[in-house]
Amino acid sequence: MRLRLRLALTTLAVTAPTIVALVALDARMRHAAAEQALARIAFQHMLESGARDRCEATPATWGGTPLPAPRTGSAPPHDLPLFDHPSGPASPPPPPADGERPVRAGEPPVLFAYDALLRAANPRAPVLDEDLVEAIATRDVAAEPFTIRGPTVQVLLRMPWTTGPCTYVLARGTTGPGWLGAILPASRVWLVPVGIVIVAVLLAVGPVVGRIRKLTEAVRRSAAQGFTGSVTSPGDDEIAELGRAFDAASQEVRTQLAEKDRREQALRDYLANTTHDVMIPLTVLQAHLSTLQERAARNDPFDMSVLVSAMDEAHYLASLMHNLAIATKLDAGEPQLHRAPVDLNALVNRVMGRHRPIARQRDIALESAVPEHPVVTDADVTLLEQAVSNIVYNAIRHNRPGGHVAVLLEVIHEGRFRVRVLDDGPGIPEADLSRLVERGFRGDEARTRAPDGQGLGLHITFRVAALHDLDLRFQPSEYGGLQVDLEGYCGP
Residues near another protein, by CB under 8 A: 314-315, 318, 322, 325, 338, 340, 349, 352-354, 356-358, 365, 367-369, 371-372, 380-383, 386, 404-406, 408, 410, 422, 424, 477, 479
Residue 488 dihedral angles phi and psi, to the nearest 5° = -160, 180
CB 449 within 8 A of CB 394: no
Q: How far is the CB of 433 from another protein (least distance, A)?
A: 20
Nearest CB to another protein, comparing residues 372 and 469 = 372
Nearest CB to another protein, comparing residues 231 and 352 = 352
Name residue 220's amino acid.
R
CB 421 within 8 A of CB 392: yes
Q: Cα separation of 293 and 288, whole Å?
A: 9
Q: Cα separation of 185 and 431, whole Å?
A: 103
Q: Cα separation of 81 and 102, whole Å?
A: 29
CB 98 within 8 A of CB 115: no
Output the 3-class SS for 410-456: EECCCCEEEEEEEECCCCCCHHHHHHHCCCCCCHHHHHHHCHHHCHH
Q: How far is the CB of 382 from another protein (least distance, A)?
A: 4
- Non-local (6+) Cβ contacts of 471 within 8 A are 465, 485, 486, 487, 488
Nearest CB to another protein, comparing residues 175 and 483 = 483
Nearest CB to another protein, comparing residues 186 and 408 = 408
Q: How far is the CB of 463 from another protein (least distance, A)?
A: 16
Nearest CB to another protein, comparing residues 92 and 401 = 401
Nearest CB to another protein, comparing residues 222 and 477 = 477
Q: How far is the CB of 298 from another protein (least distance, A)?
A: 28
Name residue 16's amino acid.
A
Q: How far is the CB of 322 from another protein (least distance, A)?
A: 5
Q: How far is the CB of 372 from another protein (least distance, A)?
A: 6
Q: Cα separation of 345 and 353, whole Å?
A: 12
CB atoms within 10 A of CB 63: 28
Nearest CB to another protein, comparing residues 424 and 485 = 424
Coil vs helix vs strand at 389: helix
CA quadruple 447, 471, 390, 423: dihedral sign:
positive
Nearest CB to another protein, comparing residues 3 and 340 = 340
Q: How far is the CB of 365 from another protein (least distance, A)?
A: 6
Q: Cα separation of 336 and 16, whole Å?
A: 64
Nearest CB to another protein, comparing residues 388 and 406 = 406
Q: Cα separation of 308 and 427, whole Å?
A: 22
State CA 486 to chain mean position distance: 53
Q: How far is the CB of 446 from another protein (least distance, A)?
A: 19
Nearest CB to another protein, comparing residues 171 and 379 = 379
Q: How far is the CB of 208 from another protein (least distance, A)?
A: 52
Angle between helices 455-467 and 381-397 (to 10 degrees): 150
Provide the Cα torsion 219, 225, 228, 234; round to 10°: -30
Nearest CB to another protein, comparing residues 409 and 428 = 409
Residue 282 to residues 71, 133, 274, 313, 320, Cα–Cα distance (Å): 130, 114, 12, 7, 11
Name residue 397's amino acid.
R
Q: How far is the CB of 402 from another protein (least distance, A)?
A: 8
Q: How far is the CB of 439 from another protein (least distance, A)?
A: 25
